[in-house]
Amino acid sequence: MSKMKVRVKTLENFKGLLPAYESVGASGLDVRAQLSQALVIQPGDRAMVPTGISVEIPLGFEIQVRPRSGWAAKKGISVINSPGTIDADYRGEIKVALINLGTEAVEVLDQDRVAQLVLTPVIQLEWDQVEQLEETARGAGGFGSTGFKGASPQ
């Protein structure tokens, strides 16, 4: 597995451990909440959770902020704009935008692991404006056009 050094700065509100991989094969680093007091997220509510770190991501990469699968499955906690994007030129504090999609309030405590951070390569596109696009079998078929077999819309 290859590794890349990314510079990290701990901020005034940081304490505890830097984000870390929790297993040898993990693709995401678990990032922890840096809170002075517990935070309660009611069903349907959102919260910005500080992490106490800022980073210097190399050009050509981004860090994606993704939900933690166990918390999502058990409590309905997710990242609002999943995956969130931290651009290479951003130098502010990383904050995790959480949403409670569950049915009960969820308490976030200081040092709780609130999300995963994944370093990902980025390829910027250049537009090639044309009059016509190549035809495909799908064509302009949108949502459900490839055979979704779920419940019928009411």
CATH code of the domain covering residue 67: 2.70.40.10
84 lies in some domain: yes
* Per-residue model confidence as pLDDT tens digits over 26-35: 999 999 999 9
> What is the tally of structural domains in the chain?
1
21 lies in some domain: yes
pLDDT at 151 over 90: no
User: In this structure, how many other beta carbons lie within 10 angstroms of the beta carbon of residue 80?
Assistant: 15
139 lies in some domain: no
Entry pTM: 0.86
149 lies in some domain: no
33 lies in some domain: yes
> Residues 77-83: what's their mean pLDDT?
95
- Tell me the three state secondary structure of residue 96: strand
Distance CA 114, CA 16 (A): 14
Distance CA 21, CA 40 (A): 26
101 lies in some domain: yes
Distance CA 35, CA 81 (A): 22
130 lies in some domain: no
Position 153 scores a pLDDT of: 55
Distance CA 87, CA 61 (A): 8
Q: 96 is in which domain, residue-wise?
A: 7-121
Which amino acid, 76? G
12 lies in some domain: yes
Position 130 scores a pLDDT of: 96
Compute the radius of gyration of the chain from its Cα atoms: 19
Angle made by CA atoms 58, 59, 65, in degrees to the nearest 5 = 70
